[in-house]
Amino acid sequence: MQENEAKNDTTYLTGRERMVASAGLDLWTEEFGDPDHPAVLLVMGAQAQGIQWNDGIVRRLVAGGRRVVRYDHRDTGRSSTVDFAAHPYTVADLASDALAVLDALGVARAHVVGASLGGVIGQLLAVTHPDRVLTLTSLSSQPLGTDTAAAVQRAMEGTPPLPGELPPPTPELLASLVASFPEPQAGLEGHLAARLPLWRVLHGPVLPFDEEEYRAVERRAYERARDTRAALNHAFAGATPVGSTAELASVTAPALVLHGTEDPMFPPAHAEATAAALPGARLVLIEGMGHTLPAALDDRLAGEILRHTAVTAV
């Protein structure tokens, strides 16, 4: 394992990088730790890059005896970008990308840890490919089959949620999302000026907000992206719900549901519904956490993942 100096003088953790093929696309992957140790596949959320799994979390998982893999979804970071109009894809295709990463790295079964949309991808894998999922951790996510796009549309129009519908994102977050992707000609500073207000809202109002931490994360993501706006395609990919919540009853992998009490994207009712749908799932609500992974929570999050993946860590 090596550490290099990044452009902004921040030392980042670097592992064994590799481009792998999936459906004619190239996906950037990075792995850490002993290849003989149990594999943990970290699956990021919509419009997010693999490097947004904090180095601190990765270090702690490796120190706990795990082989850790993180990767860039298609249309993010160093992975291939797609002409969505000509070649549309779905969340199921993103799940197939995750399997392609495991296949290319020779991982037969993995502990799958997914954040936000990554949690839905992990749930889908646990339903459709139970032989590949040792354990499932759904982090800051929602149940498989939830029609988020429709709920957001109703919220934007000021229409009340449907009976029994999970709560939509907060109005403050919806307003921030609209302005969070500047035009490419805005440059780095324009990009940061548009993105940091969104990070502040996603972070939530309880835990201290470290602006420099989020600025460094967003700067790094900007500098390594092939196309910063390509990630918007994930909104189109997620417009159609995939699977159904009822299918989660078939999941046999031990499941952990981690969620912040202050999540503005998916309020805690989403976590409660996910845990209720997954047989035997353990629900852990983290006080003060929003819809981000601040470094201050690295110990807590990595500790929960290590305890959960120890179920079948040998």
The answer, yes or no, to whether residue 6 has pLDDT greater than 70, is: no
Domain containing residue 172: 2-312
The residue ranking higher by pLDDT, 302 or 180, is 302
Residues carrying an active site annotation: 116, 263, 291
Q: What is the number of domains present in the chain?
A: 1
106-162 confidence digits (pLDDT tens): 999 999 999 999 999 999 999 999 999 999 999 999 999 999 888 888 888 888 888
- Which has the closest alpha carbon to 204: 300, 157, 268? 268
What is the dihedral sign for C-alpha 12, 13, 15, 18? negative
User: What is the average pLDDT score of the chain?
Assistant: 93
Give residue 312's pLDDT band: very low, low, confident or very high (50, 70, 90).
low
State pTM to two decimals: 0.94
65-116 confidence digits (pLDDT tens): 999 999 999 999 999 999 999 999 999 999 999 999 999 999 999 999 999 9
266-298 confidence digits (pLDDT tens): 999 999 999 999 999 999 999 999 999 999 999
**DSSP state for residue 262 in the 8-state scheme:** T
Under a CB-based contact definition with an 8 Å cutoff, are residues 76 and 225 in contact?
Answer: yes
The CATH number of the domain holding residue 307 is 3.40.50.1820
Q: Print burial letters for 19-45: b (CB count within 10 Å at least 16), e (below 16).
A: ebebeebebbbbbbbeeebbbbbbbbb
